[in-house]
């Protein structure tokens, strides 16, 4: 697991208890967990932009959905803004990993801003797929969560009215299209694999001629982290998921565990753990969403060790080797 921030940025003042006197706790830690290649790339883009252009570097929206990461980048000179009109004309700006509507880089070019696009390549792939489907004369049904930055960015790749958002099977039932209309579907990358499969099946049943992508749009990291939770949840009394409340892939990890019958709690930091949750818990699962750094996992383990005698074991579903290239403007 990558840890892009120094370990000494997280500290605990809690007294160290005598481990022999503490009740035991089996701790199963999911692998893979935490940062994915797209998040690694986005953070490195901001850091390299700071090195190349100097502070401040502006970032439109959270570069990734993690408060700790955002605060660390702020300390290095990044300034996070909601919209481009907050960016001075002579300042560099980075677009977040979630992707942006076409209108945003168009505005940046019109203002002659120096911008770097940190959109995850897997999200960019969906943007290109959307363009191709429109070129083929198909209306796009997009499966995703309303209001999520990735959904806003993807729907902003086409003209209004060319893409319809659905979240559930019930939404599919309400679609106004005839069964023989030229339709295609795409999905947000950070959805529940199981829920999305059900929605796709509903679409294919109602619209037998609907066109789908050749490969699943849900990204490898989202799928792998959900698979890892499935590997350990059935052996756990409780699962802790480290992630932000606005992180779609982290919320899905909570849902995966609960669907298997194991309670799960979403936390951003160790300080959010209510140790009353651990009453009666003999085996605890631990994972982290794709925007959460490994340092926060270790912080949680350290906090747990203040209250329980930890026996730690990693449960590996798969090994990830994905690496994404940086934008050429930061490497030349």
**Given pLDDT bands bounded at 50, 70 and 90, which one contains residue 1?**
very low
pLDDT above 70 covers what percent of the chain?
A: 94
pTM for the complete prediction?
A: 0.91
**Given pLDDT bands bounded at 50, 70 and 90, which one contains residue 208?**
very high
Closest CA to 252 of 191, 317, 315: 191
Q: Can you give the residue ranges of every domain in the chain?
A: 15-35+220-316, 37-120, 122-206
Residue 8 in this model has a pLDDT that exceeds 60: no
**Is the domain defined by 15-35+220-316 classed in CATH 3.40.1010.20?**
yes
Residue 310 in this model has a pLDDT that exceeds 80: yes
Same fold, 15-35+220-316 and 122-206: yes
Assign domain 37-120 to its CATH architecture: 3-Layer(aba) Sandwich (3.40)
Q: Decide which of 3.40.1010.20, 3.80.10.10, 3.30.930.10, 2.40.70.10 is the CATH code for 122-206.
A: 3.40.1010.20
Q: Are 225 and 196 in contact (CB under 8 A)?
A: no
Q: Which long-range contacts (CB under 8 A, 24 or more apart) does 85-88 make?
A: 86/58, 87/58, 87/60, 87/113, 88/58
Residue 3 in this model has a pLDDT that exceeds 80: no
**Given pLDDT bands bounded at 50, 70 and 90, which one contains residue 20?**
confident
Catalytic residue numbers, as ranges: 150
| Mean of per-residue pLDDT scores for the chain | 93
What was the pLDDT predicted at 17?
53
Q: Are 184 and 155 in contact (CB under 8 A)?
A: no
Q: Are 319 and 32 in contact (CB under 8 A)?
A: yes
pLDDT, one tens digit per residue, over 83-106 is 999 999 999 999 999 999 999 999
pLDDT, one tens digit per residue, over 114-165 is 999 999 999 999 999 999 999 999 999 999 999 999 999 999 999 999 999 9
């Amino acid at each position: 697991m990558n840890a892009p921030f120094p370990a000494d940025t997280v500290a605990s003042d809690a007294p160290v208890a005598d481990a022999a006197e503490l009740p035991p706790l089996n701790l199963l830690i999911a692998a893979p967990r935490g940062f994915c290649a797209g998040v690694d790339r986005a953070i490195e883009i901001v850091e390299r932009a700071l090195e190349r252009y100097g502070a401040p570097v502006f970032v439109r929206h959270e570069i990734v959905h993690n408060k700790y990461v955002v605060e660390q980048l702020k300390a290095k000179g990044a300034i996070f803004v909601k919209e481009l009109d907050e960016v001075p004309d002579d300042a560099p700006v980075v677009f977040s990993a979630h992707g942006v509507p076409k209108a945003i880089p168009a505005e940046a070019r019109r203002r002659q801003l120096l911008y770097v696009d940190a959109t995850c390549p897997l999200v960019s792939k969906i943007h290109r797929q959307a363009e191709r489907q429109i070129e083929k004369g198909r209306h796009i049904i997009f499966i995703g969560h309303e209001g999520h930055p990735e959904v806003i960015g993807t729907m902003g790749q086409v003209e209004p009215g060319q893409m319809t958002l659905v979240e559930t099977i019930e939404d599919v039932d309400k679609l106004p299209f005839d069964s023989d209309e030229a339709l295609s579907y795409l999905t947000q990358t950070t959805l529940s694999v199981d829920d999305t499969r059900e929605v796709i099946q509903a679409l294919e049943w109602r619209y037998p001629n609907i066109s789908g992508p050749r490969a699943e749009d849900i990204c490898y990291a989202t799928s792998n982290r959900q698979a890892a939770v499935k590997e350990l949840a059935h052996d756990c009394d409780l699962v802790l998921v480290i992630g932000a409340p606005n992180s779609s892939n982290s919320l899905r990890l909570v849902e995966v565990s609960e669907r298997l019958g194991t309670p799960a709690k979403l936390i951003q930091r160790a300080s959010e753990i209510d140790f009353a949750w651990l009453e009666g818990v003999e085996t605890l699962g631990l994972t982290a969403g794709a925007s959460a750094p490994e340092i926060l996992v270790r912080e949680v383990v350290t906090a747990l060790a203040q209250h329980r005698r930890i026996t730690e074991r990693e449960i590996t579903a798969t090994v990830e080797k994905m690496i994404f290239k940086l934008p050429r403007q930061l490497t030349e």
